[in-house]
């Protein structure tokens, strides 16, 4: 597959993947998800790829769903299908990849972009990064695994706070509450993340892969079950007036007027 939205560069045994839609803060589309899925299957099959390092081009890491793509969707458009054919298999593929995935969060990380980051194994973030769930800002529910990871990483109360209020969480706070592993100065982010990726790529790859399998197994209800549950709920939220209003308000750069319908 030719990648239109990813820059992929292999440096020794580390494959560096950069989401490359900087003018939209690397917002996600169905095509981006297909490219990520393809990349994960390549990485799984290729023994010369022993660690994936994921980052974003430009100022943002990933702003979640590309909201300029959803505006003209017909009423019959199923968000459940959209998730099940794109973001869910993407998050699943990243998680099932039995090789370490380091995420270098260079800037804003929101919505399904947060789900993507949380699907990786170890997260370093720039001191300029900001984390927000974003879903409720447009009247939607968490998807792409966000409702799976958040309570596990930060606890249910902080998860509820982030999801209900859409607060912007700084990188320092994100490290404090366990959302990320480490905050690094913006200038040092890639050097630090590359050093970690190199170290992991030089490790016992099969052992790390099996360790990842053990960690995934320990989490109780499976991510795939929660992904499907989220997709069903998103289908309901995606047909509300508040969702339409949320997207329109974002595009028109104004505050949304939600009506509770
Ligand atoms: C964007 C976006 C964006 C396009 C910034 N799209 N362009 C799944 C299934 C189906 C439907 C819906 O949703 C989902 C799951 C989801 O992911 S829902 C959540 C969707 N994401 C959001 O609601 C986040 C929207 N963005 C923001 O809140 C802000 O842009 C953040 C906090 C990410 C960044 O804020 P700032 O640093 O102040 O930057 P900015 O707002 O000025 O954005 C920079 C540019 O990126 C700007 O373009 P422009 O041409 O005006 O400079 C934005 O329009 C563009 N951009 N997010 N999601």
Helices (H) and strands (E) in the chain, counts: 11, 9
Helix (H, G, I), strand (E, B) or coil at 139: coil
Q: What is the mean pLDDT of residues 27-50?
A: 97
User: How far is residue 144's CA from residue 201's CA, in Å, rounded to a whole number?
Assistant: 27
Per-residue pLDDT band for 73 (boundaries 50, 70, 90) equals low
Helix (H, G, I), strand (E, B) or coil at 8: strand
In this structure, the residue with its CA closest to atom 19 of ligand 1 is 111
What is the residue-averaged pLDDT of the chain? 95
pTM attached to this predicted model: 0.92
**What tokens were used for 72?**
């003209």
Output the pLDDT for position 134. Answer: 98
Say yes or no: CB of residue 4 within 6 Å of ligand 1. Answer: no
Task: For residue 132, give the ligand 1 atom closest to its CA.
Answer: 32
**pLDDT tens-digit readout, 100-136:** 999 999 999 999 999 999 999 999 999 999 999 999 9
> Is residue 75's pLDDT more than 80?
no
Q: What is the mean pLDDT of residues 18-38?
A: 98
What are φ and ψ of residue 75, in 5° steps?
-55, -30
- How close is the Cα of 163 to the center of ligand 1, in Å? 16
**pLDDT tens-digit readout, 194-242:** 999 999 999 999 999 999 988 898 888 887 888 898 898 888 889 888 8
User: How far is residue 185's CA from residue 2's CA, in Å, rounded to a whole number?
Assistant: 33
Task: For residue 140, give the ligand 1 atom closest to its CA.
Answer: 18
> Is residue 72's pLDDT more than 70?
no
**pLDDT tens-digit readout, 142-161:** 999 999 999 999 999 999 99
Say yes or no: CB of residue 243 within 6 Å of ligand 1. Answer: no
Say yes or no: CB of residue 124 within 6 Å of ligand 1. Answer: no
Per-residue pLDDT band for 76 (boundaries 50, 70, 90) equals confident
Q: How many CA atoms lie within 13 A of 223 on its CB side?
A: 29
**What tokens were used for 150?**
């958040």
């Amino acid at each position: 597959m030719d990648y239109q939205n990813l820059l992929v560069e292999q440096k020794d045994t580390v494959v560096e993947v950069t989401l490359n839609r900087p003018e939209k803060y690397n917002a996600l589309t169905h095509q981006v998800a297909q490219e990520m899925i393809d990349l994960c299957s390549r990485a799984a099959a290729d023994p010369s790829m022993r660690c994936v390092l994921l980052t974003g081009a430009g100022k943002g890491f990933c702003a979640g769903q590309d909201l300029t793509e959803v505006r003209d969707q017909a009423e019959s458009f199923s968000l459940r299908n959209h998730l099940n054919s794109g973001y869910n298999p993407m998050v699943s593929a990243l998680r099932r990849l039995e090789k370490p995935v380091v995420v270098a969060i260079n800037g804003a990380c929101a919505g399904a972009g947060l789900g993507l980051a949380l699907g990786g194994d170890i997260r370093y973030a720039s001191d300029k990064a900001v984390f927000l769930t974003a879903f409720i800002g447009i009247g939607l529910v968490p998807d792409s695994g966000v409702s799976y990871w958040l309570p596990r990483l930060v606890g249910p109360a902080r998860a509820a706070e982030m999801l209900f209020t859409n607060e912007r969480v700084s990188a320092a706070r994100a490290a404090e509450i366990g959302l990320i592993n480490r905050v690094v100065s913006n200038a040092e982010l890639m050097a630090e993340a590359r050093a970690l990726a190199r170290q992991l790529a030089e490790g016992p790859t099969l052992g790390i892969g099996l360790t990842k399998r053990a960690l995934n197994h320990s989490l109780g209800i499976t991510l795939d079950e929660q992904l499907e549950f989220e997709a069903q709920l998103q289908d309901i939220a995606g047909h509300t007036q508040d969702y339409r209003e949320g997207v329109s308000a974002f595009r028109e750069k104004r505050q949304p007027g939600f009506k509770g319908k």
